[in-house]
Amino acid sequence: MATQEQYRELARQLSATAAIQRDLGRALPADCPPASAIVLMVLNRHGEMRMSKLAELLSIDMSVTSRHAAHVADRGWIDRQPDPQDKRSRLLRINARGMALLDEVADRYTEVLAHYLSDWSDADLGQLNTLLARLRGSFGDCRARPSPFAAPPPRAPAADLAAAPAPTTAVPGPVPAPGGAPDPGPPPSADDDITRTPAKR
């Protein structure tokens, strides 16, 4: 069983990785900020989708998602087509130029990592990849559940509770099936797999 001090040290080490993310971000093309690269990664991984689905996968609101999508569309990296099932919506799809950009981003990220980790052995890199994948698996899909450490809602004053009507008996809702909903995968981030894979249709 790990000690509390080991968890504290892990928290410090993970916080320090922000500098690594910044260095990787500097390797991106000038007109492709990290948010744009992430949008392309998500579309490449999950295939064609509506803006609402992209916002859900990015865990950001629609207005911010729309700005990111507009940026990559204006540069010709994605196509936006009317949704045949809902004319008010558009379907977003990464295109050949976007795929080529992801290839370039992957090459740039690889060069940065190869430069800084040139003295690491194959075994060291393999162990790091294994442990990072295990770490992500332990957290799972953070969007699918509230944080267990979120602050509880404020309690009502005692006088308000005394004046409140007695609660009625609630009817229990349906019990979810074992295993719940299928896991949609970890939330996207700048450290996601950026290698070129065929987009799902």
Q: For residue range 91-114, what is the model confidence (pLDDT) as tens digits?
A: 999 999 999 999 999 999 999 999
Q: State residue 152's pLDDT score.
A: 59
Helices (H), 17-95: 18-26, 34-46, 51-58, 62-74
**How many whole angstroms separate alpha carbon 109 and alpha carbon 113?**
6
pLDDT digit string, tens, across residues 71-81: 999 999 999 99
pLDDT digit string, tens, across residues 5-64: 999 999 999 999 988 988 899 999 999 999 999 999 999 999 999 999 999 999 899 999
Q: How many helices (H) and strands (E) does the chain have?
A: 8, 3
In the chain, % of residues over pLDDT 90: 57
User: What kind of fold does domain 13-139 have according to CATH?
Assistant: Arc Repressor Mutant, subunit A (1.10.10)
**How many whole angstroms separate alpha carbon 88 and alpha carbon 83?**
7
> Whole-angstrom distance between the N-terminal and C-terminal Cα of the chain?
45
Domain boundaries, the chain: 13-139
**How many whole angstroms separate alpha carbon 120 and alpha carbon 92?**
40
**How many whole angstroms separate alpha carbon 98 and alpha carbon 8?**
40
Q: Is the pLDDT of residue 175 over 50?
A: no
